[in-house]
Amino acid sequence: MSESFKIGFLGYGAMASRMGANLRKAGHEVAAYTPSKHGKTNLTAPDGAPLYPTPRALAEWCDILIPCVPTDAAMDKSMLGEDGAFAGLKKNSLVLDTSTVSPAYADKLAKLGQEHGVIVLDTPMSGSTPEAEQGTLVMLAGGDMKDVDRARPILDAVGKVTIHTGPAGSAARLKLVINGIMGSTLSVIAEAVTYGLSAGLDRNMLYDALTQIAVISPHHQRKLKMAKAREYPSQFPTRLMAKDMGLLIDDARIVQAYIPGLAVAQQALTLSNKRHADEDYAALIGAMEHSVVNTP
């Protein structure tokens, strides 16, 4: 690597910490800020990354800032105000927003970046914790091509490919398309499973068969294996998938897109979220199996 950077993560959960590990392997320095440790000094994350007491303090240290937080509101708390990251970022700094935020917020953040003299790209990822750990995420990047090229060494360190999606905000919109496909496909699979069980098919045979056929993606085959075992270790929590589906439905209303299948899936995930918020979103299959077929 020709150049190393100081990279700061706003939010350092399951996805960010795995990306951080791959960035350290690529020769970069990594530090973070986590809201649960706000105001506390001289702390480190479990992987040894230094934890800064405020977003501003982290921004003053880093060359490149990577927000990885769950909601628009969390972004506001991290980026704005006296202790927010914008107050500490140097001019022409690079912000790579890997959060899944609403398209309207992605547009807002890009505008705020211009006002503060920094470059903001929306760079959400496609993939879950296994891909984050292996460095095989698909990185989406919205913004000017010259800025995407500047960010590419960082994105390449955490992903297998970077897709330039167009202007600022376009990556946030594509991320909702991708997650909409993921969530709605799982909902359809769950419905088909409940039909098969209601029709008397052997449960083990049914799940084993579905994990072998070509029409079900490797991603959803992983979810079926979880459902068969009735164990849902959280690679992508239900609460986050339900949130993303809600963002998609909200924006579809704004652009007047016709998405009845996605709306049904969003409702199914909302139901599952009541009992399985912190479990993997594959728990939707188990929730529907329990409700329709009355299995444990």
Q: What is the pTM of this model?
A: 0.94
Residue 284 structure tokens: 């939707």
| Pairing label, strands 94-97, 6-10 | unpaired
| CATH architecture of the domain with residue range 173-293 | Orthogonal Bundle (1.10)
Amino acid occupying residue 58? L
Domain 6-166 has CATH 3.40.640.10: no
Give the tens place of pLDDT for each residue, 68-108: 999 999 999 999 999 999 999 999 999 999 999 999 999 99
Residue 133 structure tokens: 């750990």
Query: Domain locations in the chain?
Result: 6-166, 173-293
Give the tens place of pLDDT for each residue, 53-66: 999 999 999 999 99
Which residues, other chains included, contact 10 with Cβ-Cβ below 8 Å and sequence gap of 6+? 32, 33, 55, 58, 65, 66, 67, 68, 69, 78, 79, 85
Residuewise pLDDT in 10s, the chain (296 residues): 458 999 999 999 999 999 999 999 999 999 999 999 999 999 999 999 999 999 999 999 999 999 999 999 999 999 999 999 999 999 999 999 999 999 999 999 999 999 999 999 999 999 999 999 999 999 999 999 999 999 999 999 999 999 999 999 999 999 999 999 999 999 999 999 999 999 999 999 999 999 999 999 999 999 999 999 999 999 999 999 999 999 999 999 999 999 999 999 999 999 999 999 999 999 999 999 988 877 76
